[in-house]
Amino acid sequence: MKAHSSWPTWMVLVIVFAFSNLCAAQTQGEEGEEATQWFTTDELNVGLGEAPDEINRMSPREAIRSFLELTEEEDYQGAAHVLNLAELSPEEQQERGHVLAMQLAEVFRRGEWLSASNLSGRQDAVIEDTTGENPLAGDPRRDIELASLQADGEAYDIRLGRYRVEDEDPIWLIMPGSVASIPLLYDEYGPSMVEEYIPDRFKTTFGFLMVWEWIAVPVFLVLIVLLGWSIYTFVGLMARWLPSGAPSIFAARIKGPMSLIVMSLVTQMLLEYVVSFSAVAMTTFRVLLITVMAWGVGTIALRLVDTIMLRMARRLVGEIDDTKPKDERRLLTTLYAVRRAVILVMVSAVTIYVLSQIQLFETLGLSLLASASVLAVLVGIAGQTVLGNILSSLQLSLAKPIRIGDLVIFEDEWCYVEGIFYTFIRLRVWDERRIIVPVTYFVSKPFQNLSVKSAKMYRSMELILHLSTDIALLRKTFLEYAQEEDSVIEHHKLLCYATGQTATTLVITCYFVASDPMSGWTAEMNIREKLLTFIREDHPDWWPRDVMVISHQDIARAEGTKPHKTIMGTSSEKPATDSEPRKEE
């Protein structure tokens, strides 16, 4: 009976145990959730005393805004309440708190242009992303990065953390690890030696810069420009002093890039060791210096390739035409392809380097990815012609249907290919005119490449002569004249035949092989003139003439006629009968 009466007690114990476990699990879940929203601590900055009433540290935006406003008013003791000085003792907090706040304000002012408006205004710093492309959107954060600065070749992050003391509301403070790096960053980005001699009244802020900076920046720029002009002039004088040739040409072409590189290096050295400005001016200078340096180095590399191309063209090719060996013309074409590759690599490298150095990838990466399709459409529409020409140029470089120096017939013009560039091809006409043709237009039109395999060319020449012409004698004379021409090669292929006939004339066609098309044209004109002179002086009866039949008798056999004297190429015969006369002209 006692055994049966004890079961209600056991049931109560089981229910109480299960309920206590559920409560404990819920409590642990809440503590785990709170652990992702803030850092829990027992005390904060006890050595600094009570925080000023005007300071607001409930959100990242308000905390940094309060810090910047207090430091601008030089209330560094109040600004120290935005720092988490947990690694310092209460005495050190009282002694060094305002110093660290002043140093951090200088780092922000000179090293990183920090705007409180760019920070989250929410207490939990949740990333609000309506597009849904940010994987962290909607999650609360307990620490965020304010800036990442370089000092002694190492990167140091300045981070803002959310802290909660017991049951108080959580607040945002500069994290202890970042506070520890403030002296090192101050040594790197703090005031320069020149600022030690500037009166305090000129150090007040006026707009984005301090008063003394509005005076120093223009003077600084003028001095740098004068330095660049001096370098430009000096390099120009060196180009004149150097012997004529590739060195002088190269020196003359790098005057501008060299002066910009020197200006960039000197400016960077002065900003690092002599003078420093506010973050607005420093950021602007840094972007300009990086861009100028990258552009200068890329331009000098391109000028070096151009000079090498010019030197090799003068030594190996000279005047560019198809009389030069095919290997030399192929080499020059390859050099042009290398030039285009250098341009493409330099532009890409400079763009990537500049974007990486000014840290645009981190701030614009998601935006660029989000608008990639829009950018692709815009670039495709706006740069369709340019991109098409570039791709066609690369196609010409790989397939090589034409080479530098090839003789082509393009739209009935005899032209030499003088240059293949990214967006156009430069053709030199035989009369020294230049035709600039877009690459896409050139490759979309049929053209004749007379130098694709060899510069030699078959030429044909026609003569219209009388039926009585002695073809064997004319052939012999043609062979003699053709062999006298230096540009006529492969004499065993010389041909001369009657290739056509009419009622009154013969068509005589002569064939020969010329070393190149232009020389072949000249040889054809010379041979034609010599043959015409030979016919005019020795065989004028070979000239073609009209024949008018005034008799029904056979003219070729001259039946019933008797010859009579031929006068001025016209012969007349008296018929055997007194019927109808016959006349030949």
With 50 as the cut, is the pLDDT of residue 361 above it?
A: no
> Of the given ranges (109-113, 231-235, 262-266), which has the lowest mean pLDDT?
109-113
pLDDT of residue 2: 43
What is the tens place of the pLDDT at every residue in 236-248? Answer: 888 888 877 777 8
Distance CA 552, CA 556 (A): 12
Q: Is 70 exceeded by the pLDDT of residue 289? A: yes
pLDDT at position 125, please?
82
Task: Please name which of 420, 357, 426, 419 lies closest in space to residue 390, comparing C-alpha atoms.
Answer: 420
* 229: CB partners within 8 A, 6+ apart: 259
Tokens of 256: 């501008």
Report whether 145 contacts 54 (CB < 8 A): no
Give burial (CB, 10 Å; 0-12/13-18/19+) of 312: middle
Can you read off the two tokens belonging to residue 63? 């905390």
Residue 505 has pLDDT above 70, yes or no: yes
Q: What pLDDT, on a 0 to 100 scale, did the predictor assign at position 233? A: 87
Q: State the pLDDT confidence band at 563, using cuts at 50, 70 and 90.
A: very low
How far apart are the C-alpha atoms of 88 and 174, rounded to whole Å?
Answer: 14
The CA-CA-CA angle for residues 206, 217, 272, to 5°, reads 110
- Give the pLDDT score at 481: 92
**pLDDT of res. 532:** 93
Strand 413-420 relative to strand 424-429: parallel, antiparallel, unpaired? antiparallel
3-class DSSP assignment, residue 514: strand
User: What's at 422, amino acid-wise?
Assistant: Y
Three-state DSSP class for 144? strand
Q: State if pTM tops 0.75.
A: no
CB 62 within 8 A of CB 109: no
Hunting for tokens 């991109």 — which residue is that?
387
**Arithmetic mean of pLDDT, 459-483:** 91
Most confident among 275-289, 436-450, 532-546 (mean pLDDT): 532-546
Q: In this structure, how many other beta carbons lie within 10 angstroms of the beta carbon of residue 285?
A: 21
pLDDT band at residue 281 using 50, 70 and 90 as cut-offs: low
Q: What is the average pLDDT across 441-454? A: 77
276 contacts: CB under 8 Å, gap ≥ 6? 110, 189, 190, 191, 192, 195, 282
* Pair type for strands 154-165 and 39-41: parallel
Question: Largest Cα–Cα distance of the chain, in whole Å?
Answer: 175
Number of neighbouring beta carbons within 10 Å of residue 98: 19
Model confidence at 220, in pLDDT bands (50, 70, 90)?
confident
Res 330: pLDDT: 67
45-49, 77-81, 379-383, 510-514: range with lowest mean pLDDT: 379-383
DSSP 316: I
How confident is the model over 520-547, as a mean pLDDT? 89
Q: How confident is the model at residue 74 (pLDDT cuts 50, 70, 90)?
A: confident
Q: How far apart are CA 557 and CA 22, in angstroms?
A: 136
- Assign 172 a pLDDT band (cuts: 50, 70, 90): very high
Q: Which two tokens stand for residue 109?
A: 């002012």
Which pLDDT value is given to residue 465? Answer: 92
Higher pLDDT residue, 413 or 200? 413
> What pLDDT does 478 receive?
93
| pLDDT at 83 (0 to 100) | 92
572 pLDDT above the threshold of 70: no
Residue 288's pLDDT band (cuts 50, 70, 90): confident
Lowest mean pLDDT of 14-18, 390-394, 547-551, name the range. 14-18
Residue 48 backbone phi and psi in degrees, to 5 = -90, -15
Cβ burial of 522 (10 Å; 0-12, 13-18, 19+) is: middle
The pLDDT assigned to 345 comes to 75
416, 406 Cβ separation under 8 angstroms: yes
Mean pLDDT of 9-36: 53
Average pLDDT for 273-302: 72
Q: Answer whether 148's CB lies under 8 Å from 156's CB.
A: yes
Strands 424-429 and 457-466: unpaired
- pLDDT mean over 372-399: 61
More confident residue, 335 or 68: 68
Amino acid 339: pLDDT? 67
Q: Which residue has the higher pLDDT, 22 or 220?
A: 220
Residue 475's pLDDT is what?
A: 92
pLDDT over 70 at 378, yes or no: no
What is the percentage of the chain residues whose pLDDT exceeds 70? 65
Tokens of 420: 């293949």
| pLDDT over 50 (residue 148) | yes
Q: Measured on CA atoms in the order 260, 266, 271, 272, is the torsion positive or negative?
A: positive
Q: Comparing 58-72, 315-329, 408-422, which segment has the lowest mean pLDDT?
A: 315-329
Confidence of residue 550 (pLDDT cuts 50, 70, 90): low
**Out of 43-57, 138-152, 167-181, 566-580, least confident range:** 566-580
Q: How many residues does the chain have?
A: 585
